[in-house]
Amino acid sequence: MNVVEAKNLVKDYEMNNLVVHALRGINLSFEGGEFAAIAGPSGSGKSTFLHLAGCLDTITSGSLVVGGSDVAAMSKTQLALLRRNSIGFIFQAYNLIPVLSVMENVSFPLTLLGVPKNEARERSRQALKDVGLEGMENRRPKEMSGGQQQRVAIARALVKRPSLILADEPTANLDSKISQEILELMLNLNRKEGTTFIFSTHDKLVMEFARRIVHIRDGQIENEEVKQ
């Protein structure tokens, strides 16, 4: 089953009275359990596709189905529920809440879902253990390295057990050694949980790990490669 399916997907932006064609008729789908990357230079449209797939932005034309739902036919409330219940996000800027502890950052999505406090703490503790941060539950983000903060962001994305995780340039602020560790962690979680991972990237290391790479340029698909 396809987790994300785009047909003739178009996204235009208006900037300074000019129309920017970010995506120009994309046809692209991802099946459940994929570990895939959308690769391309800055401005190619890869992050735009991830934002649309994550229901963070609206499409201009064409169709986009996420988790079996036609996003163009959904209300803002329905889109918010889809994001909250089924999609995890990992950004290059981590987007952690500085005044909260690591445990509180990770459990925050569960609080929004109404998960009982004890269950939320147990699931958050397990998620932190899965990403190698056991014992760091009470630290603040500023007390952690960049690699550790990205692990917290991964734990936060995983804790609600989403069917889809979208990772927008997740290694951009990390050195190669930490990037390798983070990617190995995500690949292991993909194999263990069957969670679909879709990356936007221009990092060759991410492309080495991805089992499928879609190359995009100027809002159009150039080619794609699937590894055996």
From the list 149, 117, 123, 118, the residue with the least C-alpha distance to 136 is 149
| Residue 103: predicted pLDDT | 95
Question: pLDDT for 158-195, tens place per residue?
Answer: 898 888 999 998 888 778 888 898 899 889 889 988 89
pLDDT in tens, 188-221: 889 988 899 999 998 999 999 999 999 999 999 9
The two tokens of residue 34 are: 């994929």
pLDDT for res 175: 83
Q: What pLDDT, in 10s, does the model give residues 58-105?
A: 999 999 999 999 999 999 999 999 998 889 998 877 889 999 999 999
How many whole angstroms from its chain centre is CA 129? 20
160 beta partners: none
Residue 164's DSSP bridge partners are 87, 196
Gap between the Cα atoms of 208 and 128, Å rounded? 26
Q: Are 166 and 50 in contact (CB under 8 A)?
A: yes
Residue 63 structural domain: 2-226
d(CA 220, CA 223): 9
Measure Cα distances from 194 to 35, 74, 150 in Å.
Answer: 9, 27, 21
Q: Are 142 and 98 in contact (CB under 8 A)?
A: yes
Instruction: Tell me the CB-side half-sphere exposure of residue 174, using CA atoms within 13 A.
Output: 25
Q: What is the pLDDT of residue 132?
A: 85
Indicate the number of domains in the chain: 1
Please write the tens of the pLDDT for every residue from 12-58.
Answer: 999 888 998 999 999 999 999 999 999 999 889 999 999 999 999 99
What's the pTM? 0.89
**What tens digit of pLDDT does each residue of 131-149 get?**
889 999 999 999 999 889 9
Q: Is residue 183 within 8 Å of 203, Cβ to Cβ?
A: no
Output helix, strand, coil percentages for the chain, rounded to the nearest 5: 40, 30, 30
Q: Is 207 exposed, middle or buried (0-12, 13-18, 19+ CB in 10 A)?
A: middle
CA–CA dist 49, 28 (Å, integer):
10
Specify the pLDDT at position 178.
83
The confidence score (pLDDT) of residue 176 equals 87
**What CATH number is associated with residue 163?**
3.40.50.300
